[in-house]
Amino acid sequence: MSGQAAEDRSPRAERAARAALTRVLEPGDEQGGRWLREFGAVEVMRRLRCPRSDERALPGARESRLEGYRARAAVADPEADLAAMTAAGGRFVVPGDAEWPRQLEDLGDARPIGLWLRGRPNLRIWALRSVALVGARACTSYGAHMATTMAAGLAERGWVVVSGAAYGVDGSAHRGALAVGGATAAVLACGVDCVYPRGHGGLLRRIAEQGLIIGELPPGAHPTPSRFVLRNRVIAALTRGTVVVEARYRSGSLVTARAAQRLGRLAMGVPGPATSGLSGGVHELLRGEASLVTDAAEVVELVGDMGELAPPRTGPVLARDLLTPDAARVLEALPGRGTVTAEETALRAGTGIDEVICRLYELHSLGFVERQGDEWQLALVQDDCGQRTGNPRRGGP
């Protein structure tokens, strides 16, 4: 162990220390968040690993909890975790990275230490036009139907469907988006390399190929009840609003919806029969401040409006020539007039279909392209002279 003065505090060292801390601290630990803000990740790890009691002060935590953290810190091997994630085609993003979604700052000291990711899309851009769709694991066929069709409708309108990959409503939501070649992201309560629930191995693989798998926990970490609950705040914070499809009283989905409300996002609920216990929680939510929605168009009307009312959240305008080369190539592959399928665009751009879908959604988030049913086209925008042009109407960060 080296002294404080000799510590490597480069961005690379900070990233590694944050990776280590995802293995040490539990998600949403606000005490840990304050340490990170005050001392930086490298210094927090140094103190947790320091054998000298006069150099390892970390204020506010019980000694018993610190003992547990020190034991975890002693065995953490962030370089190995980062290497394993990279080898598996994944990555680790931290606050300050270009891909870090700014919405998570709304969580304050409970914001994730970092996010482990699998999948090609840029999380920050996807999060700009995303909606959470969550609900009961043991849903009815009505709940599964509503989740599937609503997710498909949202995806068709260019929205990213975020959920938790659980059985029931979550799985239906992901599948609904995938079924129409749409964008979907799963936020897990375990390592992003884990298959949980067991029966969703195929689904998680498809999401990783066509969308994004997101998690606060390091590779191999198991889910626990509290991790499920704390995972919900990430779903709520990432998205513009949370739709609950079937939930009993005191269901975890209601936690997500209420977290969304506290964060200034929109909470929405899909009504069901008053005789169904699985709609009881949703109806309770709807008696509060939540909005009643029955299809994707109604969701978009609500979250779209909210986006328009809050343009500062999207940051400064991104000009066309600041696009990444990959995104620019896909944009150039679109015809000046008319629509085209993702397959055709892939042929024209000379790239893979999953890559193209991922870039098309990025371009959609930034206002460059629009989706028409199964096909895509350049965004048609009224410019200052009243002419319809293919220029982007809206910019992104």
- Residues binding a second copy (CB under 8 A): 142, 145-146, 270-275, 279-280, 283, 286-287, 291-292, 294-295, 298
Q: Which residues contact 266 (CB under 8 A, 6 or more apart)?
A: 240, 241, 242, 260, 291, 302, 303, 306
Alpha-carbon dihedral angle through residues 243, 202, 122, 39, given to the nearest 10 degrees = 80
Closest distance of CB 296 from a second copy, Å: 11
Closest distance of CB 273 from a second copy, Å: 6
Closest distance of CB 371 from a second copy, Å: 23
Which is nearer to a second copy, 93 or 131 (by Cβ)? 131
Q: Scanning the structure block, which residue is given the tokens 């193209």?
A: 356
Closest distance of CB 240 from a second copy, Å: 18
Considering only CA atoms, give the Rg of the chain: 22
Dist. CA 246–CA 253, nearest whole Å: 9
Which is nearer to a second copy, 249 or 310 (by Cβ)? 249
- CA atoms within 13 A of residue 283's CA, in its CB half-sphere: 11
Closest distance of CB 153 from a second copy, Å: 12
Which is nearer to a second copy, 64 or 275 (by Cβ)? 275
Dist. CA 230–CA 342, nearest whole Å: 36
Closest distance of CB 245 from a second copy, Å: 9
Which is nearer to a second copy, 191 or 269 (by Cβ)? 269
Which is nearer to a second copy, 39 or 142 (by Cβ)? 142
Which is nearer to a second copy, 90 or 153 (by Cβ)? 153
Closest distance of CB 292 from a second copy, Å: 5
Which is nearer to a second copy, 271 or 335 (by Cβ)? 271
Angle between helices 41-49 and 63-75 (to 10 degrees): 100
Find the farthest-apart pair of alpha carbons in the chain and give their distance in angstroms, rounded.
71
Q: How far apart are the first and last CA of the chain?
A: 40
Which is nearer to a second copy, 201 or 273 (by Cβ)? 273
Closest CA to 143 of 272, 287, 284, 252: 272
Closest distance of CB 258 from a second copy, Å: 17
Which is nearer to a second copy, 146 or 189 (by Cβ)? 146
Dist. CA 168–CA 145, nearest whole Å: 10
Closest distance of CB 276 from a second copy, Å: 9
Which is nearer to a second copy, 22 or 242 (by Cβ)? 242
Handedness of CA 303, 272, 229, 18 (dihedral sign): negative
Phi first, then psi: what are they for 357, rounded to 5°? Answer: -60, -45
Closest distance of CB 145 from a second copy, Å: 7
Q: Scanning the structure block, which residue is given the tokens 């990213």?
A: 160
